[in-house]
């Protein structure tokens, strides 16, 4: 059973990491695989009442690999931690099959109660380097968490989340593996989206202002009638205010012309 799990782990690592050239290289040089071995031993001790021994084995594994996995955490088959340094997996975390984590990922808790307080990652989830997935939330099957994202709420299956706090930017179109949780194609930038929305609103308002200016100068009676309609008061106030601001300047210019004529 242990040998079969080890074979599956090595095969999954070679499938997801193009830098893995042989099974021997993976067995000797991949701290993510070593951390899984330590966890299986510590988890065995934990569930047989040897909790201090389980924590000690986990601690030794952390020193040797730079990866901290609580002995009570539940890890599914073919779990892959790439690079590994700085990964932290909490006590009540649950990880499904074929999940991939990169270095610096934290699956942490946000409360002090003893119950479920760490995330659940369903099958096929990819979490990019430096991402923080916090609280008793669920990351849906096949979802991707971009590098350095902070996830605090449930994530639907098959979506890509980026940013702080994490926001959905696209839905997954296929089942291909995606390194670091980010697709190769261009991602829609949330900031650019917001700027484009503001630009569109400004353009609409400018068109409205031009229409009102034309009506005021060309057909003042009709313009006043339109401004008196419900919903037009705010726009009318702004236009009248603009005219009032311009009027003193025009009057001042006229007085200067009168003085020049008299003199």
Q: What pLDDT was estimated at residue 184?
A: 52
Residues 149 and 112 in one domain: yes
In the predicted structure, residue 137 carries a pLDDT above the cut 50: yes
Residues 52 and 169 in one domain: yes
Q: Of 165, 186, 207, which marks where a domain is finished?
A: 186
Q: Of 168, 186, 204, which marks where a domain is finished?
A: 186
In the predicted structure, residue 54 carries a pLDDT above the cut 90: yes
Residues 113 and 149 in one domain: yes
Range in 12-21, 120-129, 208-217 the model is least confident about: 208-217
Torsional sign, CA 245, 246, 251, 253: positive
Average pLDDT in the 9-38 region? 91
Instruction: Please give the DSSP secondary-structure letter assigned to residue 18.
Output: T
Residues 117 and 206 in one domain: no
**What is the domain count for the chain?**
2
> What are phi and psi for residue 150, nearest 5 degrees?
-120, 110
Q: Of 134, 154, 186, which marks where a domain is finished?
A: 186
- pLDDT more than 90, % of the chain: 48
Residues 108 and 171 in one domain: yes
- CB 53, CB 72: distance < 8 Å: no
For residue range 180-209, what is the model confidence (pLDDT) as tens digits? 555 555 556 666 777 888 888 998 899 888
CATH number of residue 130's parent domain = 2.160.10.10
Does the pTM surpass 0.85? The reply is no
Print the domain residue range for 21: 2-186
């Amino acid at each position: 059973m242990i040998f079969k799990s080890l074979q599956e782990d090595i095969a999954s690592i070679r499938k997801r990491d193009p830098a893995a050239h042989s099974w021997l290289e993976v067995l000797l040089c991949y701290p993510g695989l070593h951390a899984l071995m330590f966890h299986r031993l510590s988890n065995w001790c934990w569930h047989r009442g040897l909790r201090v021994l389980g924590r000690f084995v986990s601690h030794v594994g952390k020193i040797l690999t730079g990866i901290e996995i609580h002995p009570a955490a539940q890890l599914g088959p073919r779990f892959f931690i790439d690079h590994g340094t700085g990964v932290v997996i909490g006590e009540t975390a649950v990880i499904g099959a074929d999940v991939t984590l990169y270095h610096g990922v934290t699956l942490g808790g946000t409360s002090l109660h003893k119950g479920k307080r760490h995330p659940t990652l369903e099958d096929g989830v990819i979490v990019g380097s430096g991402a923080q997935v916090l609280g008793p939330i669920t990351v849906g099957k096949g979802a991707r968490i971009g590098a350095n994202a902070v996830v605090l709420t449930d994530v639907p299956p098959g979506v890509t989340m980026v940013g702080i706090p994490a926001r959905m930017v696209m839905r997954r179109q296929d089942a291909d593996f995606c390194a670091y949780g980010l697709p190769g194609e261009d991602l829609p930038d949330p900031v650019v989206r917001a700027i484009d929305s503001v630009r569109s609103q400004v353009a609409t308002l400018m068109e409205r202002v031009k229409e009102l200016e034309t009506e005021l100068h060309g057909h003042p009676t009709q313009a006043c009638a339109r401004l008196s309609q419900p919903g037009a008061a705010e726009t009318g106030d702004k236009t009248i205010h603009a005219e009032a601001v311009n009027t003193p300047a025009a009057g001042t210019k006229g007085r200067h012309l009168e003085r020049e004529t008299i003199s």
